Amino acid sequence: MFKTLEWTEAGVVLLDQRKLPTEEVYQVFGTYQEVAQAIKDMVVRGAPAIGVTAAMGIALGVKQIETADPVVFVQKFLLICDTLAATRPTAVNLFWAIERMKKVFYENFKHGDFTRLKRAVEDEALQMQQEDVELNRRMGQLGASLLPQKARVLTHCNAGALATAGYGTALGVIRAAVEQGNSLQVFADETRPFLQGARLTAWELQKDQIPVTLITDNMAGHFMKSGRIDCVIVGADRIAANGDVANKIGTYSLAVLAKENSIPFYVAAPTSTLDLNTPSGEQIPIEQRSGQEVTHIKETPIAPHGIDVANPAFDVTPNRYVTAIITERGIAKSPYDESLRKLKA
């Protein structure tokens, strides 16, 4: 089994997701700056995985602070946090993880023992890693109850073990259902332009011997209309207080198509993805990525040189298209303002 992310004495070890599925390469990132760059470059990606990796990056940075001056120590700590916060704007798990690390930092800072402080932040990052796997399993169990015994499930992007510390959110629900004996057929959208579906979801489901059929993004409507999809399950990068869901670009189109075809549309995400400080999807910042991701496949150009490109990495699905939001604490349904507030409390 592969390990998406790992804490070692040498630094944070990441499975380089840019190289999958053709190469399974693990790289060590030995400083917090290197970890931040790895998140930016999508060596590691997926909201929960970004959060846990950032926490490990902070622990690594704090471990390497060499000063006895408390003022300088805090300055350096804040610089580490700011550097990691500036990597990717949409997944709220990143900011959630940084806040959690800050809390532990300040709780321990007041004792004035920097060795103990360094250990406490490291322990917190490791705790977050372990919790993430556990809560994905719980979410999986809860979500599996929504799936028919025999189901054809469409998913988008990668919300699997590669997008988390392990097991996955949307793919965690699929894994749990398969473990319970459901007979599932997964349809994976390739997910242009970064191809998380083709390169990552197809790879990890195939490794687990879960039946998966790869389709291009523009085939989804055809499969839904011809009665070949029973439900859609996706992950999320940020869920606003009203239940609007930011997820990989293309998710909104799927949700609209699902409603049009009377197919349930489920979102699986941990409560750390719920952002009750953001009232609706309109306020969610959408990351704009390099046009090169659209004009090229790896190094090969597939569009004319110099063409104008737009490349928003995420879109927002309005809550009215979401049948249910599966979390580790329970399943939320409309009205989401109320149900999500209860789950987060």
Cα separation of 30 and 260, whole Å?
49
CA within 13 Å, CB half, 308: 0
Question: From residue 40, how far is each of 36, 58, 98, 134, 146 by CA, in Å?
Answer: 6, 15, 16, 26, 35
Q: Which of 129, 164, 278, 327 binds ligand MRU (CB under 6 A)?
A: 164
Q: Which stretch binds ligand MRU (CB under 6 A): 45-53, 99-107, 115-123, 211-219?
A: 45-53
Q: Which stretch binds ligand MRU (CB under 6 A): 163-171, 221-229, 255-263, 277-285?
A: 163-171
Cα separation of 33 and 41, whole Å?
12
| 237 touches ligand MRU (CB under 6 A) | yes
Active-site residue 132, yes or no? no
Active-site choice (237, 244, 275, 315): 237
Cα separation of 97 and 85, whole Å?
10
Please list the residues that pair with 180 across neighbouring strands: none
**Complex with ligand MRU: residue 65 or 157, whichever CB lies closer:** 157
Question: From residue 330, how far is each of 55, 189, 216, 334 by CA, in Å?
Answer: 25, 27, 32, 13
Under 8 Å between Cβ of 163 and 45: yes
The CB-of-220 to ligand MRU minimum distance in angstroms stands at 15
Q: Which of 12, 36, 38, 45 binds ligand MRU (CB under 6 A)?
A: 45
**Complex with ligand MRU: residue 64 or 311, whichever CB lies closer:** 311
The CB-of-180 to ligand MRU minimum distance in angstroms stands at 21
| 196 touches ligand MRU (CB under 6 A) | yes
| Neighbour tally for 183: CB within 10 Å | 12
In the complex, the residues that contact ligand MRU under the rule CB under 6 A are: 45-48, 91, 157, 159, 163-164, 169, 196, 234-237, 247-248, 313
* Residues with a known catalytic role: 237
